[in-house]
């Protein structure tokens, strides 16, 4: 039998955390034959609720779950973890300025960077979910210099999956037959959902999404806006932000990173830019990636038309500004 893997979830008493931990304990993230030990971190005001989640995990009697650590101590939470899902973050409340939220979150990510760097397993894979996800991940990377930059990522897989979902609904095809959409850039409303390389499996072979939809006006406007604003639409409907889809996408992100992407298909991940596609190096930016042997690589050589170029640049500009704002909060 395999040794259990320790998986950290921060903000585990929150609503994404509540959806995420049972998925991890069921093997959705690391596979049905991989035992896990869950490390759940939250802040002292949430300690009692966190303990309640721990009780429910015991009550669910998950065969793969070999232990649960529920704590408000970052060092205890980070010790020995090989996967870290960073969901905890300060929510933007009514009347708060962007800078105030940024300031709270960068200080959280700076201190958690140190705890992870000192106490996590040396090959720990980190996924940041809490917003502003790209910039929180960047701060974590900068303040955990001994964690390889390849190991620090942020979640844009939910946006990617939303794009697959919209195409599948529009064409009335199975979502599993749609592939190779791309989310470029920031996990924010400037993200660019790109279908120019996306295809659908049909009885007569793979066909481009553009050919099948045959409505460029819809693809270039409504589709993009729907994906960009889906988070707000969920809040409006549910009075709470998306949680089950965020949790499910976090599992997809880690599973594909660890176990690999299928031949011929890619996924979107927020990763440290090396300057590919003329995206400024040194940002955490969402790119199309393939994964193999536990490592992602950016898909190279895709053609970028003028329409796309503008959108890639716009979201990069926003990230450059966020980075500057984050640093101004730290100094």
Q: Which residues are known catalytic residues?
A: 187
Torsion of CA 182, 186, 191, 192, to 10 degrees: -40
Residues 253 to 272 in contact with ligand NDP, rule: CB under 6 A: none
Among 168, 241, 276, 308, binds ligand NDP (CB under 6 A): 241
Q: Are 67 and 4 in contact (CB under 8 A)?
A: yes
What six digits make up the tokens of 174? Answer: 């199975």
Cα–Cα distance measured from residue 144 to residue 112, given in angstroms and rounded to the nearest whole number: 9
Across 107-122, b (16+ Cβ under 10 Å) vs e yields ebbbebbebbbebbbe
27 is an interface residue for ligand NDP by CB under 6 A: no
Query: With CB under 6 A as the contact rule, which of the stretches 11-19, 24-32, 53-61, 309-317 interacts with ligand NDP?
Result: 11-19
Count of positions on this chain that bind ligand NDP (CB under 6 A):
27
DSSP-derived letter for residue 279 is P
283 is an interface residue for ligand NDP by CB under 6 A: no
3-state secondary structure at position 315: helix
Among 8, 16, 140, 227, binds ligand NDP (CB under 6 A): 16
Nearer to ligand NDP, 241 or 297 (CB): 241
Please, what is the minimum distance in Å from the beta carbon of residue 196 to ligand NDP?
Answer: 24
Residues 110 to 149 in contact with ligand NDP, rule: CB under 6 A: 129-131, 133
What six digits make up the tokens of 37? Answer: 């030990």
Residues 78 to 107 in contact with ligand NDP, rule: CB under 6 A: 87-92
Q: Are 60 and 99 in contact (CB under 8 A)?
A: no
Query: Which residues of this protein are in contact with ligand NDP, per CB under 6 A?
Result: 10-11, 13-17, 42-43, 46, 87-92, 108, 129-131, 133, 158, 231, 241-243, 246
């Amino acid at each position: 039998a395999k040794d259990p893997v320790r998986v950290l979830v921060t903000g585990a008493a929150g609503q994404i955390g509540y959806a995420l931990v049972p998925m991890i304990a069921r093997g959705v993230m690391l596979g049905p034959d991989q035992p896990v030990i869950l490390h759940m971190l939250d802040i002292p005001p949430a300690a009692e609720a966190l303990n309640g989640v721990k009780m429910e995990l015991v009550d669910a009697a998950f065969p793969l779950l070999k232990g649960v650590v529920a704590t408000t101590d970052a060092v205890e939470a980070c010790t020995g973890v090989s996967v870290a899902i960073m969901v905890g973050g300060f929510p933007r409340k009514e009347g708060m300025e962007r800078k105030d939220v940024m300031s709270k979150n960068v200080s959280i990510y700076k201190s958690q960077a140190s705890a992870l760097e000192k106490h996590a397993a040396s090959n720990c894979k980190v996924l940041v979910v809490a917003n502003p996800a790209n910039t929180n991940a960047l701060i974590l990377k900068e303040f955990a210099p001994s964690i390889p930059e390849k190991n620090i990522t942020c979640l844009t897989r939910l946006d990617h999956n939303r794009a697959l979902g919209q195409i599948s609904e529009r064409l009335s095809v199975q979502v599993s037959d749609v592939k190779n959409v791309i989310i470029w850039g920031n996990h924010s409303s400037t993200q660019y959902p790109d279908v120019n390389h996306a295809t659908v499996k049909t009885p007569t072979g793979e066909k481009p999404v553009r050919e099948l939809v045959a409505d460029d006006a819809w693809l270039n406007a409504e589709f993009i806006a729907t994906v960009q604003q889906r988070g707000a639409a969920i809040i409006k409907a549910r009075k709470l932000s998306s949680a089950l889809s965020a949790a499910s996408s976090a599992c997809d992100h880690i599973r594909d990173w660890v176990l690999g992407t299928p031949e011929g298909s890619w996924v979107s991940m927020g990763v440290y830019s090396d300057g590919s596609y003329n995206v400024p190096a040194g940002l955490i930016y969402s790119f199309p990636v393939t994964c193999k042997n536990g490592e992602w690589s950016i898909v190279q050589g895709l053609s970028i038309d003028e329409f796309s170029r503008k959108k890639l640049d716009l979201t990069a500009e926003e990230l450059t500004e966020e980075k500057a704002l984050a640093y101004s909060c730290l100094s």
